[in-house]
């Protein structure tokens, strides 16, 4: 082993036991002149309080501290960087290092009663590229809680080397304070004190414009991170019952220099401490292995056999790395690791974990690990997962029915991991622990279906809570606006016209409501319900931010759903968010909101031509919502009350019975509107045989022919030029009473006696005037 790692003073305030060649895992340089590097991209650190406050940051890389990799750190205003746990309450009183009391697992760059006033700046940044990144924290105008004395400091954590560099900047004059500077591991057993004045360093000890370097050892250091085995397969070993399995181990070199040519041995131990003198060697890995500095790898040894330990109880698989001390290490006492215990008999254990957060009503997964630590197979058993407000299973906890399962059994040493799916947490919002109950009791089997060596370890509690959150959709405001930019609010509008309604929504919960809908209604009172007249419905909405505005362009109805015209007056526009209750909410009573009153009335704009109208249609003297038939006189629609419409400006059917096409003749029927269709019925003629009058005096029994014509029988005699018969008026102007005049009959003339009786009543064909005495 090397006794000096740097050509500088080595300070070791705590040593790890392990023989004459053991040395501390970290070394520290004395204060060296130098100023902090200049980085960019600084981001603000927000502490929970200016005094004794905490903050948590996610590191841009995995930082190794005392052989453990960390991805997050906690910051405390009292000059501490904290690893797990990452926060500290009432840490203003410093102490010497190491110490068993909290806080442990820390970097104390100036641990004292300090504060971050409003004049101070706390920032962090990252520089470089993997694997040579640097995480940097700096405090400017940082002060002592009671004495002030503003100062600047910067702490850099280096990814590759694991080095911690503390740069001390300017400080105001003063001598007060009592600080500790150094690092300490998670157990409080090992520490490095970086300034010899600790724990009583005052402002006068502040190493202005100097830096401290605390670095991991350069020598290699092998440690066993994990040991596990495959399922135990029963075998016969020289007539004795035994098992065969594969052993897998993860080994890490924590040092800077490579570890070359090491081996490892596998032991069977009755406890978790591997002692080659008393434990049973069951396998040797004889292939030399190597690890670069700050690296780790997984190795295996297959087909390992061992005789079943007698009796009942626990035993462990253990690994001892570098058993022949081929590698000269910084620490020789941390070369062992053990598996989880195996049990002679059956012993069911497990773990349960869930997401950090879940939303009521949304799917989430839970992972359950079930293991039989025993050497005997376990028969069928059940398991259940509960949601608990604490870490104790009792009657107040909620059984998640989706997380109830059964297994047909587990073999010796077998481990089963199952991912369980659920449609949503069965509990309200809050922090909940998951509790796994393995082999639960039954009415006839109070200790479960499986007889186990240990019946007290069938419960497992999740390591962290699941934050169950639930949305709370709030209908915050309803505004009625003009549909024309810039969309000003309006207090009046006309039925039949378009308006824009803006609905403002707020999420009063933590979770984001998804896939919800909203309905817009028109009401004559401010109490909105689904029985009011529906104007619009929007589906598939998601509120991912704190608020959401939804714009709805709607045309105001003229009538109610039953057809009755809406009355002029004051109305309210109301919204019902999550109309169909798709989203579980913490408060279901705040989903309704209504607008201020809006005066609505029927009305239209008079016009002479379409250019005067927004719609482009001027019909029947008013701006009309449609072309309304395009001016066809033979239709059944109008856009004014005067022409038969219900209201001015709204195209609609005219009243029943109104003539839309007049009769064009005695056998052409006039068409009339039916009050529903906008079209005039087809042109129709009177049916054949319908009585008519064609206007001809000489026809009789006139009837329609079905195609529009009207005709009848012909009664008048044709004019042949013959003198009138005895029945006609003579020169004396009086009728002969049916007798013949002297010489009244011409040669070949018809005799008076043959005159038809109708002659006396038929008008002469020459216009109905009697011939004078001189006419033939």
Beta strands in 128-275, from DSSP E residues, in sequence order:
134-144, 148-158, 164-171, 180-184, 191-193, 210-216, 222-229, 233-237, 240-253, 259-269
Residue 742 lies in a domain: no
User: With contact defined as beta carbons under 8 Å apart, do 99 and 127 qualify?
Assistant: no
What confidence category does residue 351 fall into, taking pLDDT thresholds of 50, 70 and 90? very high
Is the pLDDT at 733 greater than 60, yes or no?
no
Q: What is the mean pLDDT of residues 156-164?
A: 91
62 and 170 part of one domain: yes
Higher pLDDT pick, 559 / 648: 559
Is the pLDDT at 2 greater than 50, yes or no?
no
Q: Please write the tens of the pLDDT for every residue from 632-645.
A: 777 889 888 888 88
Q: Please write the tens of the pLDDT for every residue from 551-598.
A: 999 999 988 998 888 988 999 999 999 988 888 888 889 999 999 999
Distance CA 557, CA 536 (A): 11
Higher pLDDT pick, 744 / 218: 218
163 and 34 part of one domain: yes
Q: In the prediction, which pLDDT does 550 show?
A: 95
For residue 23, give both structure tokens.
């040395």
Residue 758 lies in a domain: no
Domain boundary among 620, 648, 682: 682
Please state the domain count of the chain. Answer: 5
Is the pLDDT at 182 greater than 80, yes or no?
yes
Residue 756 lies in a domain: no
Residue with tokens 């070359």: 260
For residue 215, give both structure tokens.
């670095």
Is the pLDDT at 78 greater than 70, yes or no?
yes
Domain boundary among 682, 698, 722: 682
Cβ-based burial of 540 (10 A; exposed 0-12, middle 13-18, buried ≥19): exposed
Percent of the chain clearing pLDDT 90 (strictly above): 54
What confidence category does residue 83 fall into, taking pLDDT thresholds of 50, 70 and 90? very high
Q: What is the mean pLDDT of residues 335-348?
A: 91
Residue 388 lies in a domain: yes
179 and 42 part of one domain: yes
295 and 353 part of one domain: no
89 and 133 part of one domain: yes
Domain boundary among 600, 622, 653: 600
Spell out the residues 6+ positions from residue 79 whose beta carbon is closer than 8 angstroms to its own. Answer: 108, 109, 110, 111, 112, 114, 179
Q: In the prediction, which pLDDT does 583 show?
A: 86
Q: What is the mean pLDDT of residues 265-290?
A: 96
Residue 737 lies in a domain: no
Q: Please write the tens of the pLDDT for every residue from 662-693.
A: 888 889 988 999 888 888 888 889 899 999 98
Is the pLDDT at 305 greater than 50, yes or no?
yes
Distance CA 699, CA 133 (A): 119
Picking from 343-347, 495-499, 646-650, which range would have the lowest pLDDT averaged per residue? Answer: 646-650
Distance CA 605, CA 600 (A): 15
Residue 718 lies in a domain: no
539 and 574 part of one domain: yes
Q: Please write the tens of the pLDDT for every residue from 401-455.
A: 778 889 999 998 899 999 999 888 888 888 999 999 999 999 999 999 999 988 9
128 and 34 part of one domain: yes
Distance CA 43, CA 58 (A): 13
Residue 726 lies in a domain: no
Q: In the prediction, which pLDDT does 718 show?
A: 63
Q: What is the mean pLDDT of residues 704-730?
A: 68
427 and 570 part of one domain: no
What confidence category does residue 771 fall into, taking pLDDT thresholds of 50, 70 and 90? very low
Higher pLDDT pick, 613 / 756: 613
Q: Please write the tens of the pLDDT for every residue from 599-626.
A: 998 878 889 998 988 888 999 898 888 8
What confidence category does residue 18 fall into, taking pLDDT thresholds of 50, 70 and 90? very low
For residue 472, give both structure tokens.
């709370």
Q: In the prediction, which pLDDT does 721 show?
A: 53
Range of the domain at 546: 474-600
For residue 431, give both structure tokens.
């922090």
Q: Please write the tens of the pLDDT for every residue from 477-507.
A: 999 999 989 999 999 998 888 999 999 999 9
594 and 643 part of one domain: no
Distance CA 79, CA 361 (A): 44
Is the pLDDT at 735 greater than 50, yes or no?
no
Q: What is the mean pLDDT of residues 11-32?
A: 52
User: With contact defined as beta carbons under 8 Å apart, do 383 and 405 qualify?
Assistant: yes
439 and 453 part of one domain: yes
Provide the residue count of the chain.
776
Residue with tokens 């215990």: 341
Q: What is the mean pLDDT of residues 361-386?
A: 92
What confidence category does residue 28 fall into, taking pLDDT thresholds of 50, 70 and 90? confident
Residue 274 lies in a domain: yes
Q: Please write the tens of the pLDDT for every residue from 504-548.
A: 999 988 778 888 999 999 999 999 998 999 999 999 999 888 899
How far is CA 322 from each of CA 23, 221, 248, 285, rounded to the nearest angstrom? 17, 10, 16, 10
Distance CA 319, CA 338 (A): 6
315 and 376 part of one domain: no
What confidence category does residue 722 fall into, taking pLDDT thresholds of 50, 70 and 90? low
CATH number, domain at 403? 2.60.40.10
209 and 83 part of one domain: yes
């Amino acid at each position: 082993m090397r006794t000096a790692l740097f050509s500088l003073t080595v300070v070791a305030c705590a040593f790890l036991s392990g023989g004459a060649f053991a040395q501390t895992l970290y070394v520290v340089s004395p204060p060296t002149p130098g100023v902090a590097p200049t980085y960019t991209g600084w981001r603000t650190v927000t502490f929970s309080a200016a005094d004794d406050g905490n903050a948590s940051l996610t590191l841009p890389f995995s930082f190794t501290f005392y052989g453990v990799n960390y991805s997050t750190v906690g910051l405390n205003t009292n000059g501490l960087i904290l690893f797990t746990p990452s926060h500290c309450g009432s840490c203003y009183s410093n102490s010497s290092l190491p110490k068993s009391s909290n806080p442990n697992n820390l970097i104390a760059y100036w641990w004292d009663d300090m504060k971050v006033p409003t004049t101070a700046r706390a920032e962090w940044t990252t520089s470089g590229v993997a694997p040579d990144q640097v995480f940097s924290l700096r405090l400017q105008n940082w002060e002592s809680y009671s004495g002030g004395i503003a100062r600047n400091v910067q702490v850099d954590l280096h990814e590759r080397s694991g080095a911690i560099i503390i740069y001390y900047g300017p400080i105001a004059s003063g001598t007060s304070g009592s600080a500790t500077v150094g690092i300490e591991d998670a157990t409080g057993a090992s520490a490095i004190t970086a300034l010899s004045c600790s724990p009583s360093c005052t402002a006068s000890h502040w190493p202005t414009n100097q830096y401290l370097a605390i670095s991991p050892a350069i020598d290699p250091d092998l440690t066993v991170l994990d040991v596990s085995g495959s399922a135990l397969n029963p075998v016969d070993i020289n007539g004795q019952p035994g098992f065969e399995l594969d052993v897998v181990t993860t080994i890490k070199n924590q040092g800077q220099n490579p570890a070359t040519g090491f081996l490892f041995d596998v032991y069977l131990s009755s406890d978790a401490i591997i002692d080659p003198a008393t434990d049973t060697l069951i396998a040797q890995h004889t292939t030399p292995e190597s690890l670069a500095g700050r690296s780790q790898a997984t190795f295996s040894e297959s087909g390992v056999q061992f005789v079943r330990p007698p009796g009942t109880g626990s035993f462990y698989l253990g690994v001892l790395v570098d058993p022949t001390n081929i590698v000269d290490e910084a620490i020789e006492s941390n070369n062992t690791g053990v598996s989880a215990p195996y049990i002679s008999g059956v012993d069911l254990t497990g773990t349960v974990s869930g997401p950090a957060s879940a939303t009521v009503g949304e799917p989430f997964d839970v992972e359950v690990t079930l293991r039989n630590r025993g050497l005997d197979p376990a028969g069928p058993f059940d398991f259940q997962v509960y949601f608990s407000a604490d870490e104790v299973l009792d009657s107040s906890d909620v059984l998640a029915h989706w997380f109830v399962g059964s297994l047909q059994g587990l073999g010796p040493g077998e481990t089963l991991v199952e991912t369980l799916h659920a449609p949503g947490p069965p509990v309200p919002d809050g922090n909940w622990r998951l509790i796994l109950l393995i082999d639960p009791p039954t009415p006839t089997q109070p200790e479960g279906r499986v007889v186990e060596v240990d019946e007290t370890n069938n419960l497992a509690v999740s390591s962290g809570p699941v934050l169950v959150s639930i949305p709370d959709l709030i209908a915050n405001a309803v505004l009625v606006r003009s549909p024309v930019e810039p969309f000003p609010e309006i207090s009046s509008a006309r039925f039949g016209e378009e308006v824009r309604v803006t609905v403002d929504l707020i999420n009063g919960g933590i979770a984001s409501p998804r896939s919800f809908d909203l309905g817009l209604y028109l009401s004559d009172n401010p109490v909105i319900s689904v029985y009011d007249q529906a104007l619009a419905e929007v589906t598939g909405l998601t509120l991912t931010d704190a608020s959401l505005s939804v714009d709805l362009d709607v045309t105001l109805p003229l009538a109610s759903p039953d057809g009755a015209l809406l009355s002029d007056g004051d109305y309210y526009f109301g919204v019902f968010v999550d109309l169909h209750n798709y989203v579980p909410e913490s408060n279901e009573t705040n989903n309704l909101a209504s607008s201020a009153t809006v005066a609505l009335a029927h009305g239209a704009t008079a016009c002479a031509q379409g250019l005067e109208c927004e719609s482009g249609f001027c019909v029947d003297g008013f701006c009309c919502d449609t072309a309304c038939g395009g001016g066809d006189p033979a239709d059944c629609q109008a856009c004014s009350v005067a022409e038969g419409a219900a209201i001015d400006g709204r195209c609609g059917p005219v009243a029943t019975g109104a003539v839309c096409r007049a009769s064009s003749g005695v056998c052409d029927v006039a068409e009339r509107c039916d009050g529903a269709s906008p079209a005039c019925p087809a042109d129709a003629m009177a049916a054949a045989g319908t009585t008519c009058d064609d206007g001809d005096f000489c026809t009789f029994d006139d009837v329609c022919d079905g195609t529009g014509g009207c005709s009848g029988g012909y009664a008048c005699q044709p004019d042949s030029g013959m003198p009138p018969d005895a029945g006609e008026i003579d020169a004396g102007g009086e009728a002969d009473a049916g007798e013949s005049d002297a010489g009244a009959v011409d040669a070949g003339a018809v005799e008076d006696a043959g005159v038809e009786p109708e002659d006396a009543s038929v008008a002469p064909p020459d216009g109905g005037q009697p011939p004078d005495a001189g006419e033939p």
